[in-house]
Amino acid sequence: MPPKKLPPGQNWREDLIVYDVAPLPPLDLGGFRLRLHGRVRYPCELSWEEIERLPRMQVRADLHCVEGWSVGDLLWEGVPASAILYLIQPEPDVSWVLARSHDGYSTNLPFSYFARPDTLLAFSLKGVPLPPQHGWPLRLVVPSLYAWKSAKYLVALEFLSELKRGYWEERGYHDVGDPWREERRRG
Protein backbone atom coordinates (compact mmCIF):
# COMPACT_ATOMS: atom_id res chain seq x y z
CA MET A 1 0.00 0.00 0.00
CA PRO A 2 1.46 3.44 -0.92
CA PRO A 3 2.04 5.92 1.90
CA LYS A 4 -0.86 8.24 2.68
CA LYS A 5 -0.71 11.67 1.12
CA LEU A 6 -0.22 14.72 3.32
CA PRO A 7 -1.54 18.23 2.68
CA PRO A 8 1.17 20.79 1.80
CA GLY A 9 3.29 21.96 4.74
CA GLN A 10 2.29 19.07 7.05
CA ASN A 11 4.35 16.35 8.81
CA TRP A 12 3.11 13.12 10.36
CA ARG A 13 3.26 12.60 14.11
CA GLU A 14 2.14 9.71 16.29
CA ASP A 15 -0.41 11.43 18.54
CA LEU A 16 -2.45 14.59 18.95
CA ILE A 17 -1.02 17.70 20.62
CA VAL A 18 -3.42 19.37 23.04
CA TYR A 19 -4.28 23.06 22.54
CA ASP A 20 -6.87 24.96 24.57
CA VAL A 21 -7.64 28.68 24.70
CA ALA A 22 -8.83 28.69 28.33
CA PRO A 23 -9.09 26.37 31.33
CA LEU A 24 -12.11 24.12 31.06
CA PRO A 25 -14.85 24.90 33.57
CA PRO A 26 -16.44 21.90 35.32
CA LEU A 27 -19.15 20.12 33.36
CA ASP A 28 -21.84 17.76 34.59
CA LEU A 29 -23.39 15.40 32.03
CA GLY A 30 -26.67 15.50 33.98
CA GLY A 31 -27.04 19.18 33.09
CA PHE A 32 -25.41 19.00 29.66
CA ARG A 33 -27.30 20.63 26.79
CA LEU A 34 -26.35 20.95 23.12
CA ARG A 35 -28.09 24.04 21.75
CA LEU A 36 -29.02 23.94 18.04
CA HIS A 37 -30.32 27.30 16.87
CA GLY A 38 -30.21 30.13 14.35
CA ARG A 39 -31.72 29.89 10.88
CA VAL A 40 -33.45 26.53 11.47
CA ARG A 41 -37.08 25.41 11.44
CA TYR A 42 -36.80 23.42 14.67
CA PRO A 43 -34.35 24.95 17.16
CA CYS A 44 -33.79 22.76 20.20
CA GLU A 45 -31.57 21.83 23.12
CA LEU A 46 -30.54 18.19 23.42
CA SER A 47 -29.68 16.52 26.72
CA TRP A 48 -26.87 13.97 26.84
CA GLU A 49 -29.45 11.17 26.94
CA GLU A 50 -31.11 12.53 23.78
CA ILE A 51 -27.75 12.75 22.01
CA GLU A 52 -27.04 9.11 22.89
CA ARG A 53 -30.30 8.07 21.20
CA LEU A 54 -29.41 9.74 17.86
CA PRO A 55 -27.96 7.72 14.98
CA ARG A 56 -24.25 6.90 15.26
CA MET A 57 -21.44 6.45 12.80
CA GLN A 58 -17.72 5.88 12.77
CA VAL A 59 -15.28 7.89 10.70
CA ARG A 60 -11.64 6.97 10.19
CA ALA A 61 -9.81 10.14 9.18
CA ASP A 62 -6.60 12.11 9.46
CA LEU A 63 -6.51 15.28 11.56
CA HIS A 64 -4.39 18.18 10.30
CA CYS A 65 -3.28 21.01 12.59
CA VAL A 66 -2.66 24.49 11.21
CA GLU A 67 0.69 24.37 13.06
CA GLY A 68 2.00 21.86 10.49
CA TRP A 69 1.46 18.44 12.07
CA SER A 70 -0.97 15.68 11.16
CA VAL A 71 -2.11 12.51 12.90
CA GLY A 72 -3.29 9.76 10.59
CA ASP A 73 -6.02 7.20 10.74
CA LEU A 74 -7.94 8.33 13.84
CA LEU A 75 -11.16 6.45 14.58
CA TRP A 76 -13.97 8.76 15.71
CA GLU A 77 -17.50 7.72 16.67
CA GLY A 78 -20.46 10.00 17.15
CA VAL A 79 -23.58 11.52 15.68
CA PRO A 80 -23.40 12.25 11.94
CA ALA A 81 -23.98 15.89 11.02
CA SER A 82 -26.74 14.64 8.71
CA ALA A 83 -28.75 13.49 11.78
CA ILE A 84 -28.50 16.98 13.27
CA LEU A 85 -29.57 18.57 9.98
CA TYR A 86 -32.55 16.22 9.73
CA LEU A 87 -33.59 17.13 13.26
CA ILE A 88 -33.39 20.93 12.94
CA GLN A 89 -34.02 21.44 9.20
CA PRO A 90 -31.89 24.49 8.33
CA GLU A 91 -33.44 27.27 6.26
CA PRO A 92 -32.37 27.35 2.57
CA ASP A 93 -30.27 30.49 3.10
CA VAL A 94 -27.93 28.91 5.69
CA SER A 95 -24.33 29.29 4.53
CA TRP A 96 -22.30 29.21 7.79
CA VAL A 97 -22.22 27.31 11.07
CA LEU A 98 -20.76 28.76 14.26
CA ALA A 99 -19.67 26.13 16.80
CA ARG A 100 -19.41 27.17 20.45
CA SER A 101 -17.54 25.35 23.19
CA HIS A 102 -18.00 25.02 26.95
CA ASP A 103 -14.73 26.91 27.53
CA GLY A 104 -15.79 29.99 25.53
CA TYR A 105 -14.07 28.97 22.29
CA SER A 106 -15.89 29.34 18.98
CA THR A 107 -15.16 28.64 15.34
CA ASN A 108 -17.03 29.15 12.10
CA LEU A 109 -17.19 26.90 9.07
CA PRO A 110 -19.02 26.94 5.77
CA PHE A 111 -22.29 25.03 5.92
CA SER A 112 -21.18 22.91 2.94
CA TYR A 113 -18.31 21.48 5.04
CA PHE A 114 -20.57 20.85 8.04
CA ALA A 115 -22.97 18.94 5.76
CA ARG A 116 -20.30 16.58 4.38
CA PRO A 117 -20.85 12.86 5.05
CA ASP A 118 -17.70 12.54 7.20
CA THR A 119 -18.54 15.40 9.61
CA LEU A 120 -19.74 14.24 13.01
CA LEU A 121 -20.29 15.22 16.63
CA ALA A 122 -17.86 12.80 18.24
CA PHE A 123 -18.08 11.32 21.72
CA SER A 124 -15.48 8.58 21.16
CA LEU A 125 -11.88 8.53 19.90
CA LYS A 126 -9.98 5.29 19.19
CA GLY A 127 -12.83 3.20 20.58
CA VAL A 128 -13.07 4.87 24.01
CA PRO A 129 -14.97 7.92 25.30
CA LEU A 130 -13.28 11.19 24.38
CA PRO A 131 -10.62 12.04 26.95
CA PRO A 132 -11.07 15.50 28.50
CA GLN A 133 -8.03 16.95 26.69
CA HIS A 134 -9.55 15.97 23.33
CA GLY A 135 -12.98 17.45 23.87
CA TRP A 136 -15.07 15.42 26.33
CA PRO A 137 -17.97 14.97 26.19
CA LEU A 138 -18.63 16.11 22.61
CA ARG A 139 -16.39 17.36 19.81
CA LEU A 140 -17.27 18.60 16.36
CA VAL A 141 -15.03 16.66 13.95
CA VAL A 142 -14.61 18.09 10.44
CA PRO A 143 -11.87 15.96 8.82
CA SER A 144 -11.86 18.05 5.63
CA LEU A 145 -10.68 21.20 7.49
CA TYR A 146 -7.80 22.12 9.79
CA ALA A 147 -8.28 20.89 13.36
CA TRP A 148 -9.13 24.31 14.84
CA LYS A 149 -12.50 23.92 13.06
CA SER A 150 -13.14 20.68 15.03
CA ALA A 151 -14.32 22.48 18.17
CA LYS A 152 -13.78 20.60 21.43
CA TYR A 153 -16.24 20.72 24.39
CA LEU A 154 -19.10 21.46 21.97
CA VAL A 155 -22.23 23.02 23.52
CA ALA A 156 -23.88 24.93 20.64
CA LEU A 157 -24.22 25.08 16.87
CA GLU A 158 -25.65 28.25 15.37
CA PHE A 159 -26.78 28.08 11.74
CA LEU A 160 -26.27 31.41 9.97
CA SER A 161 -27.08 33.09 6.66
CA GLU A 162 -23.99 35.30 6.87
CA LEU A 163 -20.45 35.03 8.15
CA LYS A 164 -19.81 35.36 11.89
CA ARG A 165 -16.20 34.72 12.86
CA GLY A 166 -15.02 32.58 15.75
CA TYR A 167 -12.07 32.88 18.14
CA TRP A 168 -9.17 32.25 15.72
CA GLU A 169 -10.94 33.72 12.69
CA GLU A 170 -11.25 37.04 14.55
CA ARG A 171 -7.48 36.87 15.00
CA GLY A 172 -6.76 36.48 11.27
CA TYR A 173 -7.14 32.76 10.66
CA HIS A 174 -8.87 31.74 7.43
CA ASP A 175 -12.66 31.49 7.42
CA VAL A 176 -12.61 28.11 5.65
CA GLY A 177 -9.33 26.41 6.67
CA ASP A 178 -8.93 23.75 3.97
CA PRO A 179 -5.53 22.03 4.57
CA TRP A 180 -5.20 20.93 0.94
CA ARG A 181 -5.33 24.61 -0.09
CA GLU A 182 -3.15 25.71 2.88
CA GLU A 183 -5.86 28.11 4.05
CA ARG A 184 -4.13 29.00 7.30
CA ARG A 185 -4.58 32.78 7.50
CA ARG A 186 -6.66 35.32 5.59
CA GLY A 187 -5.00 37.43 2.92
Look up the CATH number of the domain holding residue 79.
Answer: 3.90.420.10
* C-alpha–C-alpha distance, residues 39 and 114, integer Å: 15
- Provide φ and ψ at 171, rounded to 5°: -100, 20
What is the per-residue DSSP string for 42-70?
S-EEEEHHHHHTS--EEEEEEEE-TTSEE
Residue 3 confidence (pLDDT): 53
In a domain, residue 105? The reply is: yes
The pLDDT value recorded for residue 96 is: 98
Q: Specify if 11 maps to a domain.
A: no
Residue 74 lies in a domain: yes
How many domains would you assign to the chain? 1
**Stretch 169-177: mean pLDDT:** 97
pLDDT at 93 over 60: yes
Is position 113 within any domain? yes
| Structural domain boundaries enclosing 90 | 33-169
For residue 115, being part of any structural domain is answered with yes
Q: What is the pLDDT of residue 56?
A: 97
Cβ atoms of 111 and 82 closer than 8 Å:
no
Residue 2's pLDDT is what? 46
Q: How high does pLDDT run on average in the chain? A: 94
